[in-house]
Amino acid sequence: MRTLRRFGAEGAALVVATVVFLIPFALMLLTAVKDEEQAIDLDFAWPTSWPVVENLMAVIEARDYVLLRAYVNSTVLTVASVALIVVFAAMAAFVLQRRPGKVAKVADLLVLSGLIIPPAVVPTIWLLQTLGLFKTMPGLILAEVAFNLSFAMLLFKAFIAAIPRELDEAAQIDGCGGVKLFFRVVFPLLRPVTITVILTSSVAVFNDFVNPLYLLPGDDNATVQVTLYNFQSQYSTQWNLLFMDIVLITIPPLLLFVFFNRKIVAGMTAGAIKG
């Protein structure tokens, strides 16, 4: 009886989650494989024809293969930014959590400001221009790092708080200094939250729309989100191609997630953090 009810509850959870979270994805996929005329209706009607390959090629070939270049650009941008975010934020958050005082208060305030203040686009452009970094990939990378640091630090800080200080002290007794202590002892313990940070900042950077548009303009430098504009203009939209594009640019974060998903669970259940 009990197992039966359990099955019922699990079944219900499964159905609800599937409906709520997966139906929108079904719509994307379905529209992506319709022909242009039927796609305008934007309903769940079964496709009358299946121009899957045609749509795929149309999206890839559009604007002189801009999508392929965009994939390369987005990958470089995401990998570099996220690497810097993780290292910088973890280091700063560690000191911030462990060493309270005036400096920490200022740092806390800056973290909060980073979350609160919307970045000012045009002054940022001017600044990057002065530094000779405007319209360059390193410039955009640094901007993404600056805009996403606060969030990462918040996550790191919260989890460093859960790592008992006794651990640091034990490590120190073993002769570990600041840098060693952090990179050898603390950083490995941060793996679960590091994975969360990697995932969230990758998604944030990869899905960013506004900053690449302004800080790294031009078809050669397009990132994947900017390609959405190719099929959706002010006046008309090719829905089938738009959704095919959405599907294609959603695949990389999805793959990243599938890859990291187990690591999250593994990293967490390994019980790295134990009181």
Partner 1 sequence: MTRQDAGPRTGPGLPTGHARATGARRRAAYPYAFYLPAGIVYVVIFLVPTVMAFYFSLTRWTLFDSEFVGLQNFRDFFAEQNLSIGFANTFVYAVLTSGLKVVLGLLLGVLLTSKLRLRGFLRSVVFFPVLVSTVAVGITFSVLLRPDTGLVNKTLALVGIDGPDWLGDATTALLSVALVDVWKGVGLATVIYIAGILSIPQEYHQAVAVDGGSAWHRFRHVTLPLSWPATYSVIILSFIGGLRSFDLIWTMTRGGPGFTSDTIASIIYKQYQAGFYGLSTAGNVILFVVVTAIAVPLTWFLGKRQVAA
Partner 2 sequence: MKTSHRTLGAALAVLAMTALTSCGSGPEPASDGTVTLSFLVDNSQATVDTAKALADAFMRADPTIKIETETRPGGSEGDNIVKTRLSTGDMADVFWYNSGSLLQALNPAQSMLDLTGDPVLANVQESFLPVVSQDGKVYGVPAGTAMGGGILYNRKVYDKLGLRVPKSWAEFMANNDKIKASGVTPVIATFKDTWSSQLFVLGDYYNVQAAVPAFAQDYTANKAKFAATPAAMAGFEHLAELHAKGLLNEGFGSATVDQGMKMLVEGKGAHYAMLSAQLPPLVDTMPQAATDIGFFGIPGADPATNGATIWEPPGIYVAKTTEHAEAAKKFLAFVASPPAADAVNKVVAPPGPYRIDGAELPGDAIQAAKDLQAYIDAGDSAPALEFVSPVKGPSLEQITVAVGSGLTKPAEGAAQYDKDVEKQAKQLGLAGW
Kindly state whether residue 264 participates in binding partner 2, applying the rule CB under 8 A.
Answer: no
Whichever of 22 and 87 has its CB closer to partner 2, that residue is: 87
Kindly state whether residue 43 participates in binding partner 2, applying the rule CB under 8 A.
Answer: no
Q: Which region among 46-54, 103-111, 178-186, 247-255 touches partner 2 (by CB under 8 A)?
A: 178-186
CA-wise closest residue to 31 among 39, 23, 19:
39
Residues 214-253 that bind partner 1 (CB under 8 A): 225, 228, 232, 242, 246, 249-250, 253
Separation between Cα atoms, residue 5 and residue 11, nearest integer Å: 10
HSE-CB at 165 with a 13 A cutoff on CA atoms is 4
Task: Name the H helices within the chain.
Answer: 2-32, 36-39, 52-98, 102-116, 121-130, 137-160, 165-173, 178-180, 187-189, 191-206, 210-215, 239-269
Q: Which region among 48-56, 104-112, 155-163, 228-236 touches partner 2 (by CB under 8 A)?
A: 228-236
Pick the binder of partner 1 from 32, 59, 70, 84 (CB under 8 A).
84
CB of 57 to partner 1, least distance (A): 21
Q: Give CA separation, 176 vs 99, 171, 173, in Å.
A: 17, 6, 7
The partner in contact with residue 236, picked from partner 1, partner 2, none with C-beta cut-offs of 5 to 8 angstroms by kind, is partner 2
Which two tokens mark 43?
A: 């309903």
Kindly state whether residue 37 participates in binding partner 2, applying the rule CB under 8 A.
Answer: yes
Kindly state whether residue 58 participates in binding partner 1, applying the rule CB under 8 A.
Answer: no
Kindly state whether residue 154 participates in binding partner 2, applying the rule CB under 8 A.
Answer: no
In three-state secondary structure terms, 216 is coil
Whichever of 6 and 184 has its CB closer to partner 2, that residue is: 184
CB of 159 to partner 1, least distance (A): 7
In three-state secondary structure terms, 174 is coil
CA-wise closest residue to 230 among 215, 220, 245:
245
Separation between Cα atoms, residue 271 and residue 260, nearest integer Å: 17
Kindly state whether residue 12 participates in binding partner 1, applying the rule CB under 8 A.
Answer: no
Separation between Cα atoms, residue 132 and residue 265, nearest integer Å: 43
Decide: 260 and 198 in contact? Cβ < 8 Å.
yes
Pick the binder of partner 1 from 67, 89, 205, 222 (CB under 8 A).
89
Residues 125-164 that bind partner 1 (CB under 8 A): 126-128, 131, 142-143, 145-147, 149, 151, 153-155, 158-159, 161-162
Residues that bind partner 2 (CB under 8 A): 36-37, 40, 63, 73, 76, 80, 83-84, 87-88, 91, 121-122, 125-126, 129, 134-138, 141, 178-180, 183, 213-214, 217-221, 229-230, 233-237, 239
